[in-house]
Structure 1
Amino acid sequence: MLTAARLGAATLSAVLLAGAAAAPALADSPAPTAPAAPAGLYGAGDPTYDGVWRQSLALTALAGAKVVPADSAVGWLTGQQCADGGWMSYNPDSAAACDAKTEDSNATAAAVQALVTLGGHQDAVDKGVQWLKANQNADGTWAYNPGNPGDANSTGLAVSALFAAKADPAGVAKAGKSGFDGLALFQLGCAAPAEQRGAFAYQPAPEGTLKANDLASSQATLAAAGGRLPVTNTNQVEAAPKALTCTDTSAQPMARTDSAEAAAAYLTGQLGANGQHLMLTMPGAAATPDFTATSWAALSLIQAGHPKQAAGAVDWLAAQGGSWTKDGTDASATATLLLVAQAAQRNPADFGGADLVKQLTAAGPAPKTVAATPTAAATAEKKKDGGSGISTLWVVGVGLLIGIGGGLLLSLQRRRGSGQQAGKPGK
């Protein structure tokens, strides 16, 4: 089953799920057996729809944790690349030619970012970028699979991949339309209700209207803010994200200069309205917490310079993420949480009590090397020091100052004593 995380849109996932629910059950037909995860791949689940995606996220996150992965893990990802430079979601026979119609822009964008982060794979990166350029739509957008209408998630991921590869997205265009022009087609502006302005729709409705979609907004905002994976931005804007100011309500595309801030303001409002997480609403089902959208919202807010507004979502993910990652057995979810922890400068060895690096490395082939990370005990001791108001470093510093001050005082007293013995005033 295609998941919302892979499709990049809850709306499309809902349609697929509804179709699956309507299919009749065949009592005499055996349940299909999911293919086993191949050697070198992170995670033990069926890789059909997310093999390249989860491998790319895992390698990106582990690289940020200074883990040197096994050659088999990197080789699996590079071995999945198609001859034309793209990636399918998963090719069960990497020796066989790819089906160009099912090549996946999301998988390709994630793979490019992973290989850039790992370093040493410039040829594969260049081929991936050329595939993205070749499969851009005439309106500047990208579709999940080539030849289809573009969507906000796929366009955002492609733009982020271009940023990672240092290929200026403003200069990558079809028919004069860049990826930024494509993103603008999905962003709600002054014609929308005030509380929805800045949001991204997955795709326009058949009549052309735009409906805010939180997952689309979360993933597209990262690109609008000039970001890529992993998010390493440490710049901080003290003020809250600035909502779009409208002097009229015409349906004009939003200016690029306003895009990221307006999107960040929308995400901040949505997080605040839902207990610091986003919700997934599907037809005929009760709304449930959307871990994927919440994670990308946190990444996007940090990239946009608003870590304060992301902090509540990061706290919520730390507290609730174990149910999503299945204690590390879901490699895609674990890698995403690790990326969030790194971007928020939290200790990945104690993220809500979980050691995300340990969990993720255990889900794949044994890495070459693993860098030492602060343990949960060390983090607790640090918190203890901070809670008492006196850190170890502060105590040492005070001790040094006292020692230096005492030495100066003793020296001054000696000088005074010597001057008085000679009949002279001390200095």
Structure 2
Amino acid sequence: MNVRRSATALAVIAVTLAGGGQASAASPSPSAALPAGLYGTGDPTYDGVWRQSLALLAQDTVGVKPAASAVDWLAGQQCASGAFAPFRADSGTACDAKTLVDTNSTGAAVQALAALGGQDAGVGKAVAWLKSVQNTDGGWGYAAGGASDANSTSVVVGALAAAGEEPGTVAKGGRSPYDLLLKLALPCDATGGGAFAYQPDKKGALAANDDATAAAVVGVLGKGFAGEAMKPTGTASACSDSDDPGQAARNGAAHLVQALAKDKHLTSALAGAKDQPDYGNTADAVVALATAGQGQRAADAWRWLEANAGPWAKGAGPAAYAQLILAAHAETADPRDFGGQDLVTLLNATGPAPESVPASVSPTPAAHDSAKDTDKDSGKDDGNGFGTLWTVGVFLVAGIGIGFLISGRNKRKQQP
């Protein structure tokens, strides 16, 4: 979901620069003109492909046909190897060893381009590259060859599924992505039982991570950023230890319900900083719960987002609007009536005018509406506002705050 550029991505780039390397094939200066087909006005160096992919996927999900220039820009970012970097200012120059391609940018681009259609060649090359850098534990890290993590593996699972692959059959060393995600699931009797860890710590221990859990619930069910609005089960999920991916997803959903119970939102903070509402990962949790058949238990979180996430999305830009649209889609809510705002129109306004826009979006009866009569413990919105902008190293992550790829990774930095 998610969408902020990953803290892991920024850390990788920071380390590269500190070592005298180059961040990418080209890093635009603040005054450089942005590509005409790109969504958003912020510096795209670290999130161009990511935010473009989320924007195009969200548009497609609600029936908007994006501008050809926007699709062409994204497709043109691909390297000859099939991989994508976060941003290439000069896509006419071939990628080389200094171009920092990654699994997250590549996986996001695949999900968008596969959904839009007409990009089979590029999608096929990207999937082939992703398969070539799969780790022997069945998962993927942010960078090729890096230690596998729940978030990156889930992004790639979504890409494989979007491309028509069966993720469970894509294996390396006899292990599939589901094997890696199950390995990161905490047993029910552990602290945070049922949740997923981002990665094991240096001693191999697992710590519950809400961001990773939201990502992994969707990933272990073989879905992508948009999730899937499943028929509500009618019963609350309960944790039960099992090697079954479906049960692992239900366990993760049960953890998310508990994590959202008090404040109706997830929180995140850097070490030493005060916890702040995490709008993007709360949206991810909505997608995860709906995909696990627990959309009715995401109702309070969705209403909290409607009441509080508008200023955040305005400051964060296209990826934030996209993630809220994807959450609305999973929750069968109307993205054109988000606390009185039309998310579709707001997203469209951040980039080139779409080729076509449907007159309206008509979702099925909203789970968050039907839940009003069944969820008796619904609390009032806490009224928290925009929250804190995050600084990672020397890079300012200026409000790009969405889901799968940051706050959990910031939390991960705090683990021993």
Which range, TM-score by smaller chain? 0.7 to 0.9
Deviations 1:10-57 (A, max 9, x none): xx979999xx9xxxxxxxxxxx73654321011111111110111011
Matched, 1:71 2:68: yes
The answer for the alignment partner of 1:258 in structure 2 is 247
Task: Tell me, in whole angstroms, the C-alpha distance in 2 between the residues paired with 1:221 and 1:179.
Answer: 13
For the pair 1:284 / 2:272, whether they are aligned, the reply is: yes
Distance in 2, matches of 1:152 and 1:236, equals 25
Give SS of 1:349's match: coil
Identity %: 44
- Give the structure 2 partner of residue 50 of structure 1: 47
Partner of 2:292: 304
Residue 361 of structure 1 contacts residue 367 of structure 1 at CA under 8 Å; is this kept in 2?
Answer: yes
Matched, 1:154 2:175: no
Deviation at 1:166, TM superposition (A): 1.8
Q: Aligned partners of 1:319 and 1:99: how far apart in 2?
A: 46
Q: Give, in angstroms, the shift of residue 242 of structure 1.
A: 2.0
Q: In structure 2, how many angstroms separate the alpha carbons of the residues matched to 1:337 and 1:35? A: 29
The alignment yields a C-alpha RMSD, in angstroms, of 2.7
State the one-letter code of the partner of 1:227.
K
Q: Is the 8 A contact 1:157 1:220 kept in 2?
A: no
Q: Distance in 2 between matches of 1:123 and 1:311?
A: 40
Q: Distance in 1 between matches of 2:188 and 2:63?
A: 44
| Distance change (3 Å), C-alpha of 1:374 and 1:56 | closer
Q: 1:4, 1:13 within 8 Å by CA — same for their partners in 2?
A: no
Structure 1: gaps (5+ residues): 21-31, 246-252, 384-427
- 1:175 matched to which residue of 2? 173
Quote how far apart the aligned CAs of 1:7 are.
1.9
Aligned equivalent of 1:321: 309
Question: What are the within-5 Å matches in structure 2 for residues 142-291 of structure 1?
Answer: 142-190=140-188, 192-193=190-191, 196-245=192-241, 254-273=243-262, 275-291=263-279
Tell me, yes or no, if the aligned pair for 1:204 and 1:211 is still in contact at 8 Å.
yes
- Following TM superposition, by how much is the alpha carbon of 1:105 offset from its aligned partner in structure 2, in angstroms? 0.8
Provide closer, same or farther for how the CA distance between residues 185 and 58 of structure 1 changes in structure 2, counting only shifts above 3 A. Answer: same
Partner of 2:317: 330
Number of aligned residues: 351
> What is the one-letter code of the residue matched to 2:215?
Q
Which of the two has higher C-alpha Rg? 1
More helix by share: 1
- SS at 2:198's partner residue? coil
| Unaligned segments of structure 2, at least 5 residues | 18-28, 370-416
Q: Is 1:295 aligned to residue 283 of structure 2?
A: yes
Greater mean alpha carbon deviation, residues 341-350 or residues 277-286: 341-350
CA drift of 1:257 comes to 3.9
Distance 1:235 1:347 in 2: 17
For residue 279 of structure 1, give the secondary structure of its aligned residue in structure 2: strand
> Match of 1:207, SS?
coil
Higher relative contact order (CA 8 A, sep 6+): 2
Secondary structure, in 3 states, of the residue corresponding to 1:325? helix
For the residues of structure 1 that align with 2:96 and 2:194, how far apart are their CA atoms? 37
Partner amino acid for 1:46?
D
- 1:66 and 1:53 mapped to 2: Cα distance? 20
Q: Which residue identity does 2:320 align to in structure 1? A: A
Q: Secondary structure at the match of 1:5?
A: coil
Provide the secondary structure at the position in 1 that maps to 2:91. Answer: coil
Q: 1:231 to 1:137 in 2, by over 3 A?
A: same
Structure 1 residues 185 and 68, CA, compared in 2 at 3 Å: closer, same or farther?
A: same
- How far did residue 244 of structure 1 move? 2.4
Give the TM-score taking structure 1 as reference length: 0.77
Distance 1:173 1:15 in 2: 26
What whole-Å deviation, never above 9, does each CA across 1:275-314 have from its counterpart, x for those lacking one? 1110003211000011121111110111111111111111
| 1:171-225 Cα shifts (integer Å, max 9, x gaps) | 10111110011112222114622xx112111111111111111111111111112
C-alpha spacing 1:34/1:276, structure 2 compared with 1 (3 Å):
farther
TM-score by length of 2: 0.79
